[in-house]
Amino acid sequence: MNHIIAIVGRPNVGKSTLFNRLVQQRQAIVDSVSGVTRDRHYGKSEWNGKEFSLIDTGGYIVGSDDVFEGEIRKQVQLAIDECDQIIFVVDVVDGITSMDETVANILRKEKKPIYLVVNKVDNSMRQNDAFEFYNLGLGEFYPLSSINGSGTGELLDEIVKKMPEENEPEKDEIPRFAIVGRPNAGKSSFINALVGEERNIVTDIAGTTRDSLDTKYNRFGFEFNLVDTAGIRRKSKVKEDLEFYSVMRAVRAIEHSDVIILIVDASRGFEAQDQNIFWLAEKNRKGIVIMVNKWDLIEKETNTMKDFEAKIRKEIAPFTDVPIVFTSVLSKQRIHKVLEQAVEVHERRIQKIPTNKLNTTMLEIIESYPPPAIKGKYVKIKFCMQLPTHSPQFAFFANLPQYIKEPYKRFLENKLRDHFDLTGVPVSMYFRQK
């Protein structure tokens, strides 16, 4: 179970700076390969071997300084509903403001772990000023400076202490397939077409599905849960609390699923927001199937499947080994093909490759095409194994792992994919000292 932590507080107290510090990124990540500006308000972090997700609620708030108290109140309530722990940021320079008191009043009633973070404490005088925040009635506080990072270690120590121990999932747990995509791409219609009943209300108004709904489904002798998420929207469209809620819901649905079915509206093309959802699923190491819906609306002369598919693969590079299925939910064309692909991707994601088979195949390839020598030093990879993780991760043991560069890593990943059928499944590779 992934742990989700929300950062709340009034505007301009340094929430985004703290978020960037905790996910160890200084700016919006722009992927040099596909040119996608990724979501700056959602990220993953790790401390003492425990991984968790962070959401900066400041990214979803309307306006800036003139935010209404009611808006903040709703935001904090939603963060409480959807997250496991809350970081409440205040500013030592401003002292306690009425809006801080509003937030504190909501948080005091909560049972979930709350961390009061007093930001901008970067000298001993400010250290003394921070004591004022005991008056908020939230107990201990964490003085820190999100700009230079002092004090963040103590905060992270406490956060991971309160995280539950990772439990191995039950062996007979039913896999979950999350159906995600932009609003109005046809997610609810897809589930209705499969289930054969109006399980979800489907209208043409974008954003009518406000929640994640699970539908148990059985096909190909295989049982799984279909999770319908609210449409993930671009941040400029996240205007009201319900939309913020749907973004958090979709993040949670992706994190807690095994395979993601990303529905793309053929009439709109593969847009930046589709890429962001794809990246979110890939970053979470989920199986992925791309379903192009409303293909019946496309003028066939101007847009062949082949061209459309090539465009998508260009946008999702370097992870292009993903099934793409063209469908029309309205005429039920090829909708079962999507599920068939999702089931196959799930099987590939949980497969375990025997170590001797892996070594026989990969060491032979490595011998024929060894890593290039660097500064006259020759890299020798002696052994490889699949790690006992929930998604395919491989360790390669070498005499000089630090000299193995990105192009060679990609070459090895492609060879793994060629020989062990990993279509639709993100692969992680680690190079260690033998």
What is Dmax (Cα atoms) for the chain?
Answer: 72
Distance between CA atoms of 384 and 398, rounded to whole angstroms?
A: 9
The predicted pLDDT at position 301 comes to 61
Name the phi and psi angles at 173, rounded to 5. Answer: -65, 135
Tens of pLDDT along the chain (434 residues)? 568 888 888 888 888 888 888 887 543 333 333 333 344 567 778 888 888 888 887 655 544 445 556 667 777 777 777 788 999 999 999 999 988 998 899 899 888 999 999 999 988 788 888 899 999 989 899 999 988 888 898 999 999 988 877 654 444 478 889 888 877 788 878 877 877 654 443 444 444 444 445 667 776 566 778 777 654 544 444 444 444 555 566 677 788 889 999 999 998 999 877 887 888 888 889 999 999 999 988 876 666 889 999 999 999 988 999 999 999 888 888 888 998 999 999 999 999 999 999 999 999 999 999 999 888 889 999 999 999 888 899 999 999 999 999 999 999 999 999 999 999 999 999 999 87
The whole-model pTM stands at 0.67
pLDDT at 223: 76
In whole angstroms, what separates CA 361 from the centre of its chain? 32
**Of 241, 294, 235, 307, which is closest to residue 37 (Cα–Cα)?**
235
Cα–Cα dist 12/90, whole Å = 9
Q: How far apart are CA 319 and CA 33, in angstroms?
A: 10
3 state DSSP class of 275: helix
Place of tokens 């003139």: 66
What residue ranges in 85-221 does DSSP mark as E strands? 85-91, 114-119, 141-143, 176-181, 213-219
Burial class (CB in 10 A: 0-12, 13-18, 19+), 90: buried
CA–CA distance, 187 with 193 (Å, rounded to integer): 10
